[in-house]
Chain A
Amino acid sequence: MLERSCYDLADRCIEKHGKKPASLIPVMEDIQDELRYLPGELLSYVAKQIGVTEADAYGVATFYENFSFEPKGKYEIKCCDGTACHVKKGIAVIEALQKELGLSKDKHTTDDMQFTLETVSCLGACGLAPTMMVNGKVHPRMTPDTAVALVRELRGDNT
């Protein structure tokens, strides 16, 4: 069972967007913005409240890449592998970070829940490729070394 506060959050989001089926995506987005993931239990609750079937809600949540049923780390790193970043060797940055954080193509979040590493297809700062985004902030002109240094700096802040 989730905490009561999660349900209060869901209620607030539903209130904001309206109790109607079309609110499904904005409500899920707001919940995920807050909790950094979308708990399955809460999705069922939202579905019931706004009048869509649980199956439809699940179908929508799994269709869009941005929704995650798994909790994400404190720092959400989105490494860009868009065309401009790709031709400027963005892959090397991703590989360096995977190595540094002990993550892989199938494992996206560190066990200590500090970092989530995802590959995305364009952050819109192609002029400064390769780029990555950490919790919404775009970092330009990354190299494997500067990316690893940034992660180490973030990690240092927590310990």
Chain B
Amino acid sequence: MSRLVVGPFNRVEGDLEVALDVADGRVRSAEVSASLYRGFENLLLGRDPLDALVLVPRICGICSVSQSAAAAAALAAAAGLEMPANGRLAQNLIHACENLADHLTHFYCFFMPDFARDAYAAEPWHAGVAERFRAQRGSALADWLPARTDFLRTLGYLAGKWPHTLALQPGGTTRAITATEQVRLAAVLREFREFLETTLFADRLENVAALASADALFAWAETRGDADFARFVRLAAGLGLDRTGRAADRFLAVGAYAGAGEKGSALFPAGVREGAAGAIAAFDPAAVAEDASHAWFAGDAPLPPARGETRPLADPAAKAAAYSWCKAPRYAGRVVETGALARQLLAGQPLAVDLVATRGGSVLARIAARMVEVARVLPAMESWLRAIVPGEPFCAEWQAPQSAQGVGLVEAARGALGHWLTIERGRIAGYQIVAPTTWNFSPRDAAGQPGALEQALAGLPVADGDKAPAIVQHVVRSFDPCMVCTVH
């Protein structure tokens, strides 16, 4: 058996190391390590509750709004506060803009460049894919980056700047847009739709959102020429990426875009589901516990976040079993996967359901779920924008409670994010964060269960002497990890 250490793992947000034990040409087991500790949970203690809105976005430059939204939701829950309709619509627009930009930044900047590697030079598709997706130089960046900047105007209008806005408040948003700004925002969304419908899909968003099976997806990709997502689907089918990278196949979501679904529910529901055949169980925040048995923290017993603690070890080497600054969150003691695939599976989107039912979670399923989500969310954004009534309020007044607890649950691009807040005597007395990649990239727990990525890596083929197996790159990046959130 040989050990292969892969790091620094580029084109993920933050610092990541993956150690693989390889035997007989296969990964026998994997250890996923977050090699940076940041300590935000402790920075928050003793502060004014509203200061969380300044600090938590700065955990992460790519899911900054998700962190804001979770903090605002936790504060609102603690205060029992409801926000006016315009505030909810504006928060959802702001959050959706970040999430969609993240999905596509992941696709164009982080994920696709691996197919331009020389390792694939013998593939018939390589020359075209390399021209299009080569890191830093591919022609796709010249299309995507300006489209992204234009789309981020949504945040310029509604949130002032990005990342690290203070526009999301417990009571709504700080920026009441005018009727003329509503018209301009409609143009921003319209032009982004044009980008998606020409460059990414070569098809109407509604047709992509309606893709109903793996077979339909493969057939669709054959008819879409050089559209970027279609290119990926074709090469992924050829490489078998629809059957690569399966993790625990237990999926968790906490609900995305509050109030945007039927009868005031979330647009994409919360829930927990085993594969595609299992029943959907309700998500119970009380079933979440974080285990630090294999992390460089003191305290081995799993703790619910409401009573959680973060005590980094002054001498990490002294804890032999530990190999990461990431704790191991578990749901009812089990490993779960979170992200766009979980959201779309739990929302019953037929392509996501079929991919998981026929093949289990995979590299292709995770990417396809993101793209289907893009195709579903932009039309929702268009409807939210139309529903804003200029002149009506955007923000409810509030008073921070002196003593209270609140949980804020939102869906970042890369999955479920929870903030558990305790206020005592008007100050933050407890703050625990469980981030999406903490779920997906967790180390082992006390029972020895490997985390979701660790499971997805086991069994992958690794050629003798290959120091950077492409297949490992694809599987790791298919989760769209955010390590800086992980090690908050």
Q: Answer whether A and B are interacting partners.
A: no
A residues in contact (CB < 8 Å) with B: none
